[in-house]
Amino acid sequence: MTTFDLRTLRLRSGDQARERVEIELQPLVLGGQAFEPRPNPAPGELTVTHASSGTVLELALDVSLEGPCFRCLIDAELPLSLRVREYEAAKPEGDDDLQSEYLEDDRLDLSAWAHDAIALALPDKILCRPDCAGLCPVCGRDLNAEPHEHAEETSDPRWAALESLRETD
């Protein structure tokens, strides 16, 4: 877990600091499959702006997720360029919207923040390529490598009575 102590910056109102950080990332588990972030630890840039009303935290991070394609299960890579922002009010007075869940006692949890930012930036499906054909539902072969069709299968004999009704129409 990577954390950053904001007290080391010693910022006054109106000051801004930029820090290069190396963020240790945990794998994301989606649909029972693990997606590994690369590089790990990931280089990022943290910008902290201190104002009289609070602190603005910005994180810039470029990372790729590597794991199986949702359709064909071969290796897929999803590059992500993240730019995220958090705000911590100087006096939040119990309002959760004015507090960052990643900041506690002036220690910023960069690993959790980056993990959540990656999760929110993901598409519905991680694919090896946009036109991935997936696996054949009958034989399980990769339709990208071997496009094919199967001859129409005979129906289950238990449905024969219903099939005879269809033929009478």
- In the chain, what is the straight-line distance between the N-terminal and C-terminal CA atoms, in Å? 68
Q: How many domains does the chain have?
A: 1
State pLDDT tens for residues 92-118: 777 777 888 898 888 999 999 999 999
The answer to whether position 99 is within a domain reads yes
Q: Rounded to an integer, what distance in angstroms lies between the CA atom of residue 55 and that of residue 99?
A: 10
The answer to whether position 165 is within a domain reads no
The answer to whether position 48 is within a domain reads yes
- pTM of the model as a whole: 0.79
Residue 154 pLDDT level (bands cut at 50, 70, 90): low
The answer to whether position 137 is within a domain reads no
The answer to whether position 166 is within a domain reads no
Q: 28: domain range? A: 3-132
The answer to whether position 45 is within a domain reads yes
State pLDDT tens for residues 16-75: 999 999 999 999 998 888 999 999 999 999 999 998 888 999 999 999 999 999 999 999
Q: Any long-range contacts for 32-38 (C-beta under 8 Å, 24+ apart)?
A: 33/67, 33/68, 34/67, 35/65, 35/66, 35/67, 35/78, 35/126, 36/65, 36/66, 36/67, 37/63, 37/64, 37/65, 37/66, 37/118, 38/63, 38/64, 38/65, 38/66, 38/77
The answer to whether position 168 is within a domain reads no
Q: Which tokens in the block code for residue 33?
A: 């499959």
